A and B are shown apart, each in its own frame.
Chain A
């Protein structure tokens, strides 16, 4: 009691001194976290605007835009190509991902675990490898598919170097994102809503169209947002498939004007700002749409056991769709990569080549010091940015969810802002900042870390705040009443309870960081190459066999990482009823 009174007296005294009250460690930590998020989200965009609209002399100018949009690369052409590409990939990914999710969650389609694997594996394959694999599958001259169908359909039937080809490759690659969102949407839907429609005499397809689809509209809107933003920011596919035939989009132009000599930063800024403007308009339109969809969100809830719909004789065609998708999106690309990685130089598969496999390419990458360094760089950056982001977002989501700090909604929005900034735009913006700022960051790994950290902040925030909402406030308050300081409470109660969500987010960020190309390609410098950059360079040098071997190893490592991470996450998961 005497002790409590003593502590009380001291605290009373300190509390009267207002300065002491303001600078508690809690306030310091929160302030640093908030300042950092604000800095990372806002400063690059500010510099981007400034650098693009100001001339050398410091006057307002549109000169950079004039230079960017010559007749050959008119704004309308770039915008039209971007639009077609984005809409095309969405037209493939959204129906496909939704159908796969529906089959998996709500029906008795055979081989369910295959569906799940088929839908998730493409998430692990880096975009650049996926695109290169498709070049070997469907380029007009050397594509294996073209050679296979030549006797039937004639020469050069498929042309991957076209807008349609680009949309197909991108669409197949992002289908898993739609699948994941839609699985969640279908799982939270009360199946009795469908059953009652069936009982009232609706045909199965009518029920799907009139009842099921409208009910999962919020999920479809969310998926559309992600796919549209993704399509507009995509770099690998337009660069590798579009440039050879002169199909330019904003991202590939940004890269081109910066990779030429001398780099034209003003022009890059003009393209970047245009793309950012279009993305923002897209997101705005989407949010208008989904606001109307909110009224359907009464479908969430628990307590029902989803009973799968009997497909009857439709089971087999449904399984055909699944197998076809698995073949096209996973088996073929992986087979091509594997096959090429075992050859000395590219030649179409035949009995002779298949019986003459070699491990030379693997030996090459094991001995090549640049490759080894890239492995180290990629995984260090991935783990560093994932750890940093998740820790920081744990604090930010705590502020947003738990406190009544004024302006916390702004913090929430700021941490989501980078979501709409395409990787290349982020790269340009960071160049603008760190070429000018007197900080020794340009030319080091730090600039890559900053780029990854900023880009993946929104994802980290999503994982962290979802878990934060699930932790009752009294669990924290009881720590406080027990005498814990804010930091003790956060470290010993909040963080451990958040851990499953944080680990899930951590795995995701490591994975996407390791594959990252579009920011890295503008920001890396010799000695700081990451894996995707090495693959890019090998592609430009025509070392496709070494590249394939490197790709195989990279995919294998990512699979191991994801599996171990998921196991770990399941282990620390708190048992609860």
Chain B
């Protein structure tokens, strides 16, 4: 549905800075129809800039942007479709609700400014707007002034305005970031439901990893103008391909080591200063490569030293502190020189000072080359 290839966008640097700011630095990705595709990354990594390039609000330096079969931008073919001819829907971070119009007028605007040829009749416009307002549950507020809406209602209004043209692609720039925590969670499910039921293809920009994991079909993790990794939420979480991705999404334990041996079935034996760990990886890493292991706290098994069975991938350690978090219990465990964070269900709670056995599952321990 959307193809972005080798997209580069630079801005002139401010006074005192040398050269240009490379806000987007060679980004390539593809979005399948019906998917909710998330651009995830820390502040300033170029998410908004990428989205604005797709919308036509920024002119990229180089690259190709295609929606369906239409080339929206291509630096080689010198093609550029202006923003108002792309027919995409966009929800801005600030919502950009027009304060001088009421709810109905805000939504009907895109239909009213359509080309004379494609413009709908008055009654059709009314029907269409009514339908969209119903979908976002604002139909009872149609004649209210837009500035008199609550935060959540404004957010839904912005969504309705973006949807009313029935765009092939919906662009969402941190649509939930202005809402308070509870409303944000509610709207997250609401948005996902709408997107799935209406079969909309959407690009979703956020720096909130929980949001990204909960809503997306695919996630592209961005850093410094580049995409670091693309994958399904679960893959990104369980098999991060770089130290940055592992650290940015969720909490994790890093262990430095070196590939010691390779065994059939893609099994690597990594030796670390604290001991050996066996993991599986699709990557092709020669023996002797410096690597980093990333292990999520909740993937480490924990048992009192006297009850557990020592085996492969099992280390011995001592609990230093523990913290009760409501849904889980966090333990900080000393292993040799290292401290590891281990998250257990509330049924497992071991007092500080006790010896424990730690077990690392081979499938959920990611192996990342040290230079990534």
Chain A residues in the interface with B (C-beta under 8 A):
1, 3-5, 7-9, 11-12, 15-16, 472, 474-475, 477-486, 488-489, 492-493, 496-497, 499, 574-577
Contacts and interface: CB of A to CB of B under 8 A. Distances in A.
Given A8-B81, A493-B98, A481 B90 contact: yes
Among the interface residues B71, B94, B96, B161, which one has the most CB atoms of the partner chain A within 10 A? B96
Given A481-B84, A492-B109, A574-B99, A1 B68 contact: yes
Interface in B70-118: 70-72, 78-90, 92-94, 96, 98-100, 109-110, 113-115, 118
A3 B87 CA distance: 9
Contact of A3 (B71, B110, B118, B162): B118
A483 B70 contact: no
A16 B76 CA distance: 12
Given A5-B70, A15-B79, A482-B161, A576 B147 contact: yes
24 contacts: A3-B118, A4-B168, A7-B85, A8-B67, A12-B70, A12-B79, A472-B94, A474-B94, A475-B98, A478-B90, A478-B158, A479-B109, A479-B113, A480-B84, A481-B56, A481-B83, A482-B113, A482-B165, A488-B113, A497-B100, A499-B100, A575-B147, A575-B148, A576-B99
B371 interface: no
Given A7-B87, A12-B80, A575-B147, 4 more contacts: A5-B70, A481-B55, A481-B171, A576-B147
Contacts of B86: 4, 8, 481
Interface string B40-84: 000000000000000111000000000111111000001111111
A486 B87 CA distance: 15
A572 to B, nearest CB: 8
B165 A472 contact: no
A478 B99 contact: no
B167 interface: yes
Nearest to B168: A1
B209 interface: no
A436 to B, nearest CB: 44
A12 B109 CA distance: 24
A481 B88 contact: yes
B145 interface: yes
B68 A483 contact: no
A484 B70 CA distance: 20
B290 to A, nearest CB: 46
B57 A8 contact: no
Interface of B: 55-57, 67-72, 78-90, 92-94, 96, 98-100, 109-110, 113-115, 118, 145, 147-148, 158, 161-162, 165, 167-168, 171
A409 to B, nearest CB: 15
A474 B83 CA distance: 13
Among the interface residues A7, A485, A575, which one has the most CB atoms of the partner chain B within 10 A? A7
A9 B70 contact: yes
Contacts of B110: 482-484
A493 to B, nearest CB: 6
Contact of A481 (B57, B100, B115): B57
Contact of A16 (B79, B113, B161): B79
Contacts of A4: 67, 70, 86-87, 167-168
Nearest to B71: A12
B94 A483 contact: no
Contacts of B94: 472, 474
Contacts of A478: 90, 92, 96, 98, 158, 161
A474 B92 contact: yes
Nearest to A26: B82
A577 B87 CA distance: 32
A101 to B, nearest CB: 31
Contact of B100 (A474, A485, A489, A496): A496
Contacts of A575: 99, 145, 147-148
B321 to A, nearest CB: 42
A577 to B, nearest CB: 7
A396 B87 CA distance: 29
B99 A497 contact: yes
A285 B307 CA distance: 88
B113 A484 contact: yes
Contacts of B118: 3, 7
Contacts of A477: 57, 83, 92, 96
A492 B113 contact: yes
B96 A474 contact: yes
Nearest to A493: B98
Closest 3 CB pairs of A and B: A4-B87, A482-B110, A8-B70
A244 B90 CA distance: 70
Contact of B69 (A5, A482, A485, A488): A5
A167 to B, nearest CB: 45
A576 to B, nearest CB: 6
Contacts of A499: 100
A148 to B, nearest CB: 56
B113 A8 contact: no
B96 A574 contact: no
Contacts of A481: 55-57, 83-84, 86, 88-90, 162, 171
A8 B72 CA distance: 7
B147 A8 contact: no
A121 to B, nearest CB: 33
Contacts of B82: 11, 15
Nearest to A7: B85
A495 to B, nearest CB: 10
A482 B81 contact: no
Nearest to B93: A474
Contacts of A486: 84
Nearest to B100: A496
Given A481-B57, A574-B99, A11 B78 contact: no
Contacts of A472: 94, 96
A577 B84 contact: no
A486 B99 CA distance: 19
A485 B113 contact: yes
A483 B165 contact: yes
A93 B81 CA distance: 57
B29 to A, nearest CB: 20
B183 to A, nearest CB: 18
Contacts of A9: 70
A80 to B, nearest CB: 44
Nearest to A487: B113
A4 B80 CA distance: 14
B85 A574 contact: no
Contact of B115 (A1, A5, A7, A8): A7
B85 A483 contact: yes
Contacts of B93: 474
B16 to A, nearest CB: 19
Nearest to A12: B79
A12 B81 contact: yes
B96 A475 contact: yes
Contact of B68 (A5, A482, A485, A574): A5
B96 A483 contact: no
Contacts of B165: 482-483
Contacts of A485: 84, 113
Nearest to A478: B96
Contacts of B99: 497, 574-576
Contact of A15 (B55, B81, B115, B171): B81
Contacts of A488: 113
Contacts of A5: 68-70
A477 B52 CA distance: 10
